[in-house]
A and B are shown apart, each in its own frame.
Chain A
Amino acid sequence: DIQMTQSPSSLSASVGDGVAITCRASQSVSTYVNWYQQKPGKAPTLLIYGASNLHTGVPSRFRGSGSGTDFTLSISSLQPDDFATYYCQQSDSVPQTFGQGTRLEIK
């Protein structure tokens, strides 16, 4: 199975800050990485697919980049609604494993 390792596991930031979350795959997955946001008690929602494609309705302050084994989710100018847990997922091969999650908290 392909392992997806996210860093950091948790992150504190203030409204208006920019942050970056990284995800490393244990082997190359081309651009087959998706990013999801999950708020407490809620289902995950899709943010980015194919490493860099913004899902419909997702604000442009979210940006995805990377290919091969290294991927980044960047959020510019954090809004109060952005404080949540973020997961990467590889869709290159089954099982389509998720990273362990990055919890973004308000400083």
Chain B
Amino acid sequence: EVQVVESGGGFVQPGGSLRLSCAASGFTFSRYTMVWVRQAPGKGLEWVSYISSGSTTASYTDSLKGRFTISRDNTQNSLYLQMNSLRDEDTAVYYCARASWDLSSKFYLDFWGLGTLVTVSS
């Protein structure tokens, strides 16, 4: 059974840092691109970042560049998101998702974790 499980969320003051983790199981992790998506309380989904299967390519939504860093360890079947200089507006549930590829769609997010809540507040 495919599973992705996020951890590492919590309460942090503005300017602080957190490292989120995502543990994957039930599929060959090293073959898949992985994605982080976040959702602020009561708001819609926001695509955050992706990393290719071999870590050769990564990208971020513009507002996060320079503050967030995505990485992965294929030997540990784990995905990470290092978040620095956190702001109030980074408060959200952060989801880890597996990205599958199809010719008709390029990437689509077919398995999601339950999410981990990050709260940034003074």
Interface residues of A (CB under 8 A from B): 1, 31-34, 36, 38, 42-46, 49-53, 55, 87, 89, 91-92, 94-101
Kindly list chain A residues whose C-beta atoms are within 8 Å of the C-beta of B44.
87, 98-101
**C-alpha gap A12/B105 in the complex (Å):** 30
Report how many residues on chain B are interfacial, defined by Cβ distance under 8 Å: 25
Kindly list chain B residues whose C-beta atoms are within 8 Å of the C-beta of A32.
104-106
- Per-position binary interface string of chain B over residues 69-107, scored 1 when its CB falls under 8 Å from any chain A CB and 0 otherwise: 000000000000000000000000001000000111111
Given A44-B45, A55-B110, check contact A95 B105 (CB 8 Å).
no
Nearest CB on B from A24, distance (A): 16
B9 interfacial by beta-carbon distance below 8 Å:
no
Q: List 27 A-B contacts (CB under 8 A).
A: A31-B104, A32-B105, A32-B106, A34-B105, A42-B114, A43-B112, A43-B115, A44-B45, A44-B112, A46-B109, A46-B110, A49-B102, A49-B110, A50-B103, A51-B104, A52-B104, A89-B45, A89-B109, A91-B105, A94-B47, A95-B47, A95-B59, A95-B60, A95-B62, A96-B47, A98-B47, A101-B45
Given A43-B114, A95-B59, check contact A50 B108 (CB 8 Å).
yes
**C-alpha gap A7/B68 in the complex (Å):** 32
Nearest CB on B from A46, distance (A): 5
Taking a contact as CB atoms under 8 Å apart, the answer to whether A92 and B47 are in contact is no
Kindly list chain A residues whose C-beta atoms are within 8 Å of the C-beta of B59.
94-95
Kindly list chain B residues whose C-beta atoms are within 8 Å of the C-beta of A36.
45, 109
Most buried by A among B50, B59, B103, B109: B109
Our pick among A44, A46, A53, A98 for the contact of B104 (Cβ within 8 Å) is A53
Most buried by A among B45, B59, B113: B45
Kindly list chain A residues whose C-beta atoms are within 8 Å of the C-beta of B115.
43
B61 interfacial by beta-carbon distance below 8 Å:
yes
Nearest CB on B from A54, distance (A): 12
- Which single residue of chain A is at the shortest CB-CB distance from B113? A43
Nearest CB on B from A83, distance (A): 17
